Amino acid sequence: MSESDKTLSARRAFLQGSLAAVGGVAAGKAIAGGEGTPDPAITEIQPWRSTLGPGVDEVAYGQPSPFEAHVKRRNVPWLTAETKSSINFTPLHQLDGIITPNGLCFERHHSGVAEIDPSLHRLMVHGLVERELVFTLDDLMRFPRENHVYFMECTANSGMEWRGPQLNGVQYTHGMIHNVMYTGIPLRLILAEAGIKPDGKWLLAEGGDAAAMTRSIPMEKALDDCLVAFAQNGEALRPENGYPLRLVLPGWEGNMWLKWLRRLEVGDQPWHHREETSKYTDLMADGTARRFTWVMDAKSVITNPSPQAPITHGPGAMVLTGLAWSGHGTIPRVDVTLDGGKNWHLARIDGPSLNKSLHRFYFDFVWDGGEMLLQSRAHDSTGYVQPTKAALREFRGENSVYHNNGIQTWHVNQSGEVENVEIS
Amino acid sequence: MLRFLSLFIATLVFTFHVQANPLGLGRTALPVELAAWNTDVRPDGMGLPEGSGNAADGEVIFAEKCAACHGDFAEGVDRWPALAGGQGSLQDARPLKTLGSYWPYLSTSWDYIYRTMPFDAPASLGADETYAIVAYLLFANDLIDDASFVLNRENLADIVLPNTEFFRDDDRATTEYPVLTDACMDNCKPSVTITKRATGVGVTPDQADN
């Protein structure tokens, strides 16, 4: 203990008496002229200052601070019949930067998490190929690898909001998305190993879970930028994200990123399986339906403030922040409005601007304490501008379920509380 | 040594890119392995195994293995999906998307049921059972009226579902993208009012520990 700490310690009893009386209310406030009640966070010796902490190896795999226990994925129980065929949501309002921590990546399972023994996992490539092959994970580790950061968005993200605002929280309205760095093998190298026959135009990918999920993928995409990934953010995929192998289809709807990947079949036409007919087709107002709507269009949302993250500091300097992304490329520009779209301002994009990755934006301003109607609007590298929900409804009606990339509105009241609303 | 190494690496790269030789990884899949995993089915019938079943038998199997979630008449239970009904509802405020009202291909249900169902015992149904269940779903959707109708490998691909022709490929690139470019910055509208609120809808989970 240093000399000054000893002095503080000696005065502790006296201070405790006086501080208890004021309850620490005035403590820590900016005070002109050096007057006011001292902050006990400074003047009192805290336990972590006066006792030794745990040594190395106490927690062999590090975990967040216990004070961050509220930062977690959350489910919306009424959405689905049971949790083994369900989805939960990434807590976007409690994260910053562009990378989603592995343990907070949202989950979507059709028959629960497959807990696969990697020594018993195989990848089969067959169909219209020169050589029908089986790979072990050891075999796959001998292919050249690449690293890429990509967002992965469930096609149904914001799907509950088509008819109007329902869920009061950005985690629930926009949390079916995550953004991690994948390490994987270019899919085209694995297909080249088998040798695609000239009429091999489609690829069926199948997972090894109890749902044996399948999707048909056009060969142009399979040979373009897809990966067979084995790692996310530098470590093995998490079981809930497809351990030991998953497909990565940059910019395309999350349902196609087959987890627990065990089989790739080359064919001359699509399979029209359940996830591309009954589900993941977009019903229009006239009763027709779009199919094969693979690309996720440009989208953005303000993560803070938002209903789960109100303004608690009162008027003055503040940070507005959010995320923007596009399945067509990068995000060169994000606009934000504080007055419901009467006037817009350029937001500041900070951090890496990567192809088909989340982008982090900020708008630093002085809040006057008045009501606000907050929106963000993404521009992508193709020139596409994120539309209003009203504009989307003009094309599609209200029964599409999927691909809702409309502009989100948050109402902020004078207390700093935030509500999910729609405006004229 | 370094020069030799770089020459060696250059040769490897040259070989890989120009001659596109396989890396020689993996091994040949055996016929019995292919048969074990390649059980998927396409609309043209590719992949369907031998076997058959009729709707009357299917109704019995459905009641035993499917109805707990999907209902005796495939009408759905709680939040589990309905598989029958909904014809003519696709333009309604609450459309009901089922095999009879929405799904474009019958093969899809055969494939999904055989590889994935029942939910708590996936891939446990035989081919005959699956043909029978799919025949029952046709019956439950009023797409056949003879419960003795036998569905099999030969006739399944010939059955056309009512909504097949109402699917079209993604057309956003021509219908939406050219139009969605509005980026007004100043004085974009004279007034703004709140038209809808999430508060009161009452569907947000309890957030006491946010």
Q: A160-209, pLDDT tens digit by residue?
A: 999 999 999 999 999 999 999 999 999 999 999 999 999 999 999 999 99
Phi and psi at A74, nearest 5°, equal: -135, 150
Note whether A107 and A87 are within 8 A (CB): yes
Cβ-Cβ contacts under 8 Å, B171 against chain A: 290
Q: How far apart are CA A192 and CA A182, in angstroms?
A: 21
Q: Confirm whether pTM is higher than 0.80.
A: yes
Of A278, A300, A377, A424, which to mutate for an interface test with B (greatest number of B Cβ within 10 Å)? A278
**Hunting for tokens 């019903």 — which residue is that?**
A283
Cα separation, A181 vs A173, whole angstroms? 24
Distances in whole angstroms, Cα of residue A389 to Cα of each of A153, A406, B148, B193:
18, 4, 50, 15
B69 touches chain A (CB under 8 A): yes
- Cross-chain residue pair A124–B115, CB shorter than 8 Å: no
The mean per-residue pLDDT over the stretch A401-406 comes to 97
CB contact under 8 A, B115 and A212: yes
Of A135, A168, A292, the CB nearest to B26: A135
Q: Could you tell me the domains of chain A? A: 74-290 (3.90.420.10), 299-421 (2.60.40.650)
CA torsion A90→A94→A100→A103, rounded to 10°? -70
CB contact under 8 A, B198 and A165: yes
Which pLDDT score is estimated for B63? 98
pLDDT of residue A24: 39
> Rounded to whole angstroms, how far apart are CA atoms A67 and A131?
55
User: Which pLDDT score is estimated for A204?
Assistant: 98
**pLDDT > 70? residue A19:** no
State how far residue B6 is from chain A, nearest Cα, in angstroms: 18
Q: Which residues of A touch B69 (CB under 8 A)?
A: 81
Chain A nearest-CA residue for B187? A342
Contact B23 A278 (CB under 8 A): no
Distance from the A56 Cα atom to the nearest Cα atom in chain B, whole angstroms: 30
Residue numbers in B near A289 (CB within 8 A): 90, 102, 166-168
Burial of A364 (0-12, 13-18, 19+ CB in 10 A): exposed
Tally the C-alpha atoms within 13 A of residue B181's C-alpha that lie toward its C-beta: 8
Is B108 close to A277, i.e. CB distance below 8 A? yes
Q: What is the pLDDT of residues A198-246, one digit of tens each?
A: 999 999 999 999 999 999 999 999 999 999 999 999 999 999 999 999 9
For residues A336-364, average pLDDT:
98
Interface of B with A in 85-144 (CB under 8 A): 90-91, 93, 95, 97, 102-105, 107-109, 111-112, 115-116, 119, 122-123
Q: What is the torsion angle, in degrees rounded to the nearest 10, for the CA atoms of residue A10, residue A12, residue A18 and residue A19?
A: 150
- In chain B, which stretches have pLDDT less than 50? 1-2, 4-5, 7-20
Helix (H, G, I), strand (E, B) or coil at B81: coil
Peptide bond before B118: cis, by omega within 30 degrees of 0?
A: yes
ipTM of predicted complex: 0.89
Buried b (16+ CB within 10 A) or exposed e, A35-48: eebeebeeebeeee
Give dist(CA A75, CA A88) in Å, integer: 4
pLDDT exceeds cutoff 50 at A37: yes
Are residues B196 and A165, on separate chains, in Cβ contact within 8 Å?
A: yes
Q: What is the mean pLDDT of residues A355-363?
A: 98
> What integer pLDDT is reported at residue B209 of this predicted model?
60
Q: Are A341 and B189 in contact (CB under 8 A)?
A: yes
Chain A's closest residue to B47, CA to CA, is: A271
Residue ranges of B 191-210 with Cβ closer than 8 A to chain A:
191-199, 201, 203-205, 207, 209-210
Chain A residues with CB under 8 Å of B113 CB are none
What's the average model confidence in pLDDT over A126-149? Answer: 98
